[in-house]
Amino acid sequence: MNEQQPKTAPQKYSFEREPAKRVFAAELRETRIHFKDADDEKSPSYVLLPTGERCNRIFAVGTLTEKRKQGDQNLFYRARVVDPTGTFFVMAGSYQPEAMQQMARIEPPSFVAVVGKPSIYETPDGAFLVSVRCESITVVDKDARDHWVLDTAKATLDRLDLDGQTPDSARARAEYQADPAIFRRMVYDALAQMKI
Amino acid sequence: MDYSDTVERVSQKIVSRGHTVDKSRIEQKLKQLVEEFGVPSAEAERTVTNELFREFGITTEVATGAGDQKEINQFQNGEWVTTEGKVVALSSAPSPAIAQTGIFADKSGAIRFVTWSKANAPLMEKNKCYRLESAVVDEFRGVLNLKIHSGTVIKEIESLENIQPDYTPIDDLSPGVGSVKAKVIQEWDSTHERMLQSGLLGDKSGTIKFVIWRDGDVEKLTPGSVYSIFYALVDEYQGRLSLNLNTATVIPEDEDIEVTSGETSFSGAFVHMAPGSGLIKRCPVEGCNRVLSRQNYCPVHEIQPKFVYDLRIKGWLDDGRNARELLIQRENVEKLTGINLDQAQEIAENNPLGMDEVFLRMRDQVLGKYLSCRGREIEHRILVSECAFEAYDPAVLADLLNRAGGDE
């Protein structure tokens, strides 16, 4: 079976992998809430997307516009990946050696597909920064990018359509107090750019 | 618990042989065995009957009573039967306590039989017909069996007609013995030295795993061919059925039959390529085929320097809601990555990174791209039979624009 199967849970047939949510940069940037389901150190941590779904991992395709190597002993890469709505801040550090090596070989600008885990930082002056800890980053073509925009538009609309009917959706409505129309507009604008 | 039926049965057996017996005594003995000693009621019945027979000096042969003559599909657990049928298969005895085991069939059905060594019964021959008097039907792992013991009378009889069995649709098979007409739709890597072949059989109704063990005289099946398979053992393991063909009569058929695909489709982004993907080495020992470690070590056959190269990709496909594990085999790996086995070998041999280089090149081809694939789901992993990169579909755009703008 697969290598990642936890040995302590033989009753489970297979390791359940957290799905990678499709989310536009403009929505991820607004994310503020993060939580865990259980106190257990190994239980997954989530962010709550403003459109109303928990998210442990994202999949995003966009343009790598900038990449910088930082740190001396703890080397890491900081990169910007741009989609039709905004920018993902992507990091790859020594805890993700594979992603770091992939990052090292990619030169901006290129279309890239990123799989990673979102995390939220609060800066000392009270601002929030949402970044994506990269698990993998690969070069893809424009077709893959366009495909992702449609995929993400659909996923975002599906989340909005849930309209408070799931616990996560209800919680997001209560916590963020955001007008769903804003995200609908975001989706529309992202799609509108594709027509050209 | 009510013993009156059992008491009646036991008492009948005694009375029919010209003795009288006190029914309350029978009941008391049964009750004691079942309630005090936790003996299963069928076993208690046998014990009490035997005890009384001894007491009345009735010999065991007559003792047990022949039971009613019945056809196989009417057998019920725990009964004594007399039946006529044909030995359609013999298989090697799994234990010294068993003298002979095989399949006994009549026109109504087929059942596995077991002859105990201590029964000292004459061995039966394959394809001959017999009358069995006083055999016992019992249940082993949820499947009925016919037990031939020292009290069973075996008589060879003239050939019976019409015992060609009907085919059962695969989807309707139940544990026991079954006959199917099916097509070999997959041949799997052998996971055990003793295993000659395993794979998947299909007909219009469904699919089922089949196994042929080496110890019989059944030959390997040819993938893509259709066979009539009579009297295979239908085993159940963890809720899944499989066909053991070692007892079966397997006849190749010239025709082609319709087969259910039994496959699932899944589309999404390929988000992770797992270690063990790319160029791999397999154990060359026939029937093993296990993947070797980098040092050519097979968990069963140890160091194997004459390994066989193969290609595969293991990884996860993710549609944003669910992530599904994939196993993509050589043919599809070559199609997706554009790297065939020869090229992969060449890359590995002429590169300082060796096999890792193949992994990296394949990863760059596949990771982060949208794939759609079809395949059978086995143990929560999709064994991919067909897959392709998904093309961007602009038709979806108009629909989504309407959806996004529609509510304003």
Domains of chain A, residue spans: 20-192
Query: How far is CA B156 from each of CA A97, B120, B123, B393, rounded to the nearest angstrom?
Result: 75, 16, 11, 72
Count of structural domains, chain B: 4
To 10 degrees, the CA torsion angle through A27, A48, A41, A121?
40
A51-60, A143-152, B86-95, B345-354: range with lowest mean pLDDT = B86-95
Give the residues across from B29 on adjacent strands.
none
Is the same domain home to B208 and B137?
no
Please give the DSSP secondary-structure letter assigned to residue B359: H
A194 CB neighbours in chain B (<8 A) are 397
Is the same domain home to B268 and B300?
yes
Strands B80-91 and B68-69: parallel
Indicate which CATH number applies to the domain containing B284: 2.40.50
Give a yes or no: residue B24 inside a domain: yes
- So what CATH class is A20-192? mainly beta
User: What is the structure's pLDDT at B406?
Assistant: 59
B276 CB neighbours in chain A (<8 A) are 3
Give a yes or no: residue B47 inside a domain: yes
pLDDT, one tens digit for every residue, chain B (408 residues) = 788 888 888 888 888 878 888 888 899 888 888 887 777 777 788 878 888 888 887 765 444 455 678 888 888 888 888 888 999 888 877 788 888 889 999 888 889 999 988 888 888 988 889 999 888 898 887 788 999 888 888 888 888 777 778 888 888 888 889 999 999 988 887 778 888 999 989 888 888 899 998 877 788 999 989 999 999 999 887 667 889 998 888 989 988 888 876 678 899 999 999 999 999 999 998 878 889 998 899 988 889 999 999 999 999 999 999 999 999 999 999 999 999 999 999 999 999 999 999 999 999 999 999 999 999 877 678 999 999 999 888 888 988 999 998 554
Q: Do B401 and A188 touch (CB under 8 A)?
A: yes
Give a yes or no: residue B181 inside a domain: yes
Tokens representing B71 are 């056809």
Give a yes or no: residue B309 inside a domain: yes
Domain that holds residue B193: 170-253
User: What is the structure's pLDDT at B193?
Assistant: 81
> A12 pLDDT exceeds 50?
no
Is the same domain home to B14 and B124?
no
Q: Do B320 and A21 touch (CB under 8 A)?
A: yes
- Yes or no: say if A45 and A27 are a contact pair by the CB < 8 Å rule: no
Given B223, B253, B283, which residue is the final one in a domain?
B253
Is the same domain home to B382 and B297?
yes
Q: Which chain A residue shows the shortest CA-CA distance from B369?
A: A144
Q: Any chain B CB within 8 A of the CB of A153?
A: yes
Alpha-carbon A46 to chain mean position: 11
ipTM of predicted complex: 0.89
Give a yes or no: residue B401 inside a domain: no
The A residues from 59 to 118 touching B (CB cutoff 8 Å) are: 59, 61, 112-115
CA-based nearest distance B321→chain A, Å = 6
Give a yes or no: residue B203 inside a domain: yes
> A85 pLDDT exceeds 60?
yes
Is the same domain home to B246 and B278?
no
Indicate which CATH number applies to the domain containing B223: 2.40.50.140
- Three-point CA angle B401, B405, B408, nearest 5°: 175
Is the same domain home to B242 and B331?
no
